[in-house]
């Protein structure tokens, strides 16, 4: 580690009070040291690199002008809060996003300076509106609520609902617009065009029309200019927008030049070359990316939608091959789903590629805009189940519980790459709404079936004592458990229902042929697919091995799965104990 970065280990005088006493030349040196610290630590452990490199000076200026935590500083989204963590006493990044280490997002458990645990975009302005209203109700004067909002977040509808309320008030809310022209990918739509006009000094100003004082554009890397603008904003004691123009990845050439945003969030990376330290195995996302291109080549009615996640959800090659059939709606999942409904009504088959955790935000649209109309829309849920280092807000453990409530919707959970390809094709051929879910993980080897009953694959069969229902890529763990249980003298059948919602008649029939049934699913036990099977066969004991009704802390995916009993030995022990 370089001397500059080493100086930022615990004990560095980099707290807000010390920062306020420094002159700008010394502050620029601190900023350079923070950048080097981020590059070396995030490249070593993984995390959000580009967004944090872009907000170094902005974060220093915020903590010099405002008095956190009395003045509340909110980040939208929270992945740009690493510098804020450093300044507020959290400089041990050796275990960033690892079990027991710092969260990759703001965390109330870590610091009083973290007001909201915000990792879903476009929400901070609504929090800010509520906090400012609470101060008015309680007659608390003299403090400011500050929302640091990325331009990508402004593509989400909640931002504009909040801006409508804030701008129509007289409450002291400072909106710091961090405009780098990107979210994961270049910011799209009319808002991006308007911000470009503001940067060029052209046209009317939508923020002023909504009731805000507008300051900017400001160079987001010029500390004196930033501080002057923020002090001016604070002095108004009313709604203000400070428009700061920043460079994503500032100070790291590989990130600044990263047109495809591979440096937005990184795994372990060589900081010299900017490349991954080891070649990764093909992931579930890679398999989907390949198959959707093949489907698109055969079906000109298939279109794809993304919410600013074109590359992370595997749609890059589809966009290159079929540019007229790809739609990036911005960070606007609700709009995306209802737009997909309109596409389906218009004769297309939309494939909505989205992280599982973000589909939660559009449940009403899935229910009332897609399912109520029985529309052929396919939702491809990447990052389903436990995701790992991104923590509780990103684990995709709620989608099954939500989707089991939707009439007419079918959910597939492939066990291996070949099944993902097969089930995706079945989904886009369906007459109604479908979901295909898979995890953030390397795609394993294919697991063959010895038989098929209805739509259910039978993976192993040695008797009718125990039925293990493997839902998704937990099949190998179930097969390992079966071998251990057979050694204990039990007859075990392992099946993969493939379509886990609704419960198929074939699966119910198989359950009735066994003494006890255990479903194994990488989702919450509450509202599980196993609960549907239990309702279908009330005469048979059905137990679900899944995740607890809890917000699960960050750790590696494998660590969390092991701790929750998703190994062959743990599954076997659960069966032998007669409980889940």
- Identify the DSSP state of 373: T
Q: List the catalytic residue out of 35, 72, 85, 361.
A: 361
Q: List the catalytic residue out of 248, 325, 460, 498.
A: 248
Closest CA to 175 of 122, 111, 101: 122
For residues 108 and 569, what is the distance between their CA atoms, to the nearest angstrom? 36
Query: Which residue has 């052929």 as its token pair?
Result: 376
- Identify the DSSP state of 456: E
Whether the CA torsion 551, 555, 557, 558 is positive or negative: it is negative
Does residue 248 carry a catalytic annotation? yes
Does residue 516 carry a catalytic annotation? no
**Which residues have a Cβ under 8 Å from the Cβ of 273 and sit 6 or more positions away?**
254
Q: List the catalytic residue out of 333, 415, 440, 460.
A: 333
Strand partners, 460: 494
Whether 436 contacts 381, CB under 8 Å: yes
For residues 347 and 441, what is the distance between their CA atoms, to the nearest angstrom? 34
**Which residues have a Cβ under 8 Å from the Cβ of 13 and sit 6 or more positions away?**
none
Residue 121 marked ligand-binding: yes
Whether 178 contacts 244, CB under 8 Å: yes
For residues 121 and 124, what is the distance between their CA atoms, to the nearest angstrom? 8
Closest CA to 176 of 130, 138, 206, 145: 145
- Three-state DSSP class for residue 402: helix
Residue 113 marked ligand-binding: no
299-314 burial code (b ≥16 CB/10 A, e <16): eeebbbbbbbbbbbbb
Residue 180 marked ligand-binding: yes
Residue 328 marked ligand-binding: no
Residue 152 marked ligand-binding: yes
Q: How far is CA 55 from CA 33, 257, 440, in A?
A: 14, 17, 28
Six token digits for residue 337: 């789903």
Residue 40 marked ligand-binding: no
Whether 61 contacts 226, CB under 8 Å: yes
Does residue 208 carry a catalytic annotation? no
Residue 333 marked ligand-binding: yes
Residue 17 marked ligand-binding: no
Cα end-to-end distance, the chain, whole Å: 47
Instruction: Quote the Cα angle for 5-11-12, to 5°.
Output: 50
Q: Cite the annotated binding site for thiamine diphosphate by residue number.
A: 79, 119-121, 152-153, 180, 252, 333
State the binding site for Mg(2+). 151, 180
The catalytic site residues sit at 248, 333, 361
């Amino acid at each position: 580690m370089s001397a500059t970065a080493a100086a930022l280990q615990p004990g560095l005088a980099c707290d807000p009070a010390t920062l306020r006493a420094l002159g700008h030349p010394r502050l620029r040196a601190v900023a350079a040291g923070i950048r080097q610290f981020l590059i070396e630590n995030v490249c070593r452990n993984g995390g959000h690199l580009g967004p944090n490199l872009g907000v170094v000076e902005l974060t220093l200026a915020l903590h010099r002008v405002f008095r956190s935590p009395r003045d509340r500083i909110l980040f939208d989204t929270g992945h740009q809060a690493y510098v804020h963590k450093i300044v507020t006493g959290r400089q041990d990044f050796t275990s960033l996003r690892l079990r027991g280490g710092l969260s990759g997002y703001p965390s109330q458990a870590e610091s009083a300076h973290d007001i909201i645990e915000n990792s879903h975009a476009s929400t901070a302005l609504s929090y800010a509106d509520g906090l400012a209203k609470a101060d008015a109700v309680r007659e608390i004067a003299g403090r400011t609520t500050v929302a640091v909002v990325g331009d990508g977040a402004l593509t989400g509808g909640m931002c504009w609902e909040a801006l409508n309320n804030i701008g129509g008030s007289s409450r002291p809310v400072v909106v710091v617009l961090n405009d780098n022209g990107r979210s994961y990918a270049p910011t799209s739509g009319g808002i991006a065009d308007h911000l470009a006009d503001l940067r060029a000094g052209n046209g009317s100003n939508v923020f002023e029309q909504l009731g805000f004082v507008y300051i900017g554009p400001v160079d987001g890397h010029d500390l004196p200019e930033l501080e002057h603008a923020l002090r001016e904003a604070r002095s108004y004691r009313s709604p203000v927008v400070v428009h700061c123009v920043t460079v994503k990845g500032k100070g790291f050439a590989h990130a600044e030049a990263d047109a495809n945003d591979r440096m937005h969030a990184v795994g372990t990376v060589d900081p010299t070359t900017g490349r991954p330290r080891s070649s990764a195995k093909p992931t579930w996302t890679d398999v989907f990316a390949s198959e959707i291109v093949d489907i698109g080549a055969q079906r000109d009615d298939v279109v794809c939608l993304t919410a600013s996640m074109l590359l992370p959800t595997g749609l890059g090659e589809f966009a290159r091959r079929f540019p007229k059939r790809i739609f990036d709606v911005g960070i606007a999942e609700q709009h995306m789903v209802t737009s997909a409904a309109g596409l389906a009504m218009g004769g297309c088959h939309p494939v909505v590629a989205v992280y599982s955790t973000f589909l939660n935000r559009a449940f009403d649209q899935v229910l009332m805009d897609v399912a109520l109309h029985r529309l052929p829309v396919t939702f491809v849920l990447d990052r389903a189940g436990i995701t790992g280092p991104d923590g509780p807000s990103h684990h995709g453990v709620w989608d099954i519980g939500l989707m089991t409530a939707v009439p007419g919707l079918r959910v597939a959970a492939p066990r291996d790459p070949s099944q993902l390809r097969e089930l995706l094709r079945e989904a886009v051929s369906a007459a109604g709404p479908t979901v295909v879910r898979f995890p953030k993980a390397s795609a394993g080897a294919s697991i063959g079936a010895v038989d098929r009953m209805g739509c259910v694959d039978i993976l192993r069969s040695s008797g009718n004592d125990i039925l293990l229902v493997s839902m998704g890529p937990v099949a190998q763990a179930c097969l390992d458990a079966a071998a251990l249980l057979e050694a204990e003298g039990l007859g075990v059948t392992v099946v993969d229902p493939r379509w886990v919602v609704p419960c198929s008649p074939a699966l119910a029939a198989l359950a009735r042929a066994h003494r006890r049934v255990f479903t194994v699913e990488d989702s919450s036990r509450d509202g599980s697919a196993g609960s549907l099977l239990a309702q279908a066969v009330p005469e048979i004991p059905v137990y679900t091995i899944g995740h607890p009704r809890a917000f699960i802390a960050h750790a590696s995916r494998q660590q969390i799965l092991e701790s929750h009993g998703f190994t062959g030995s743990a599954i076997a022990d659960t069966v032998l104990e007669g409980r889940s």
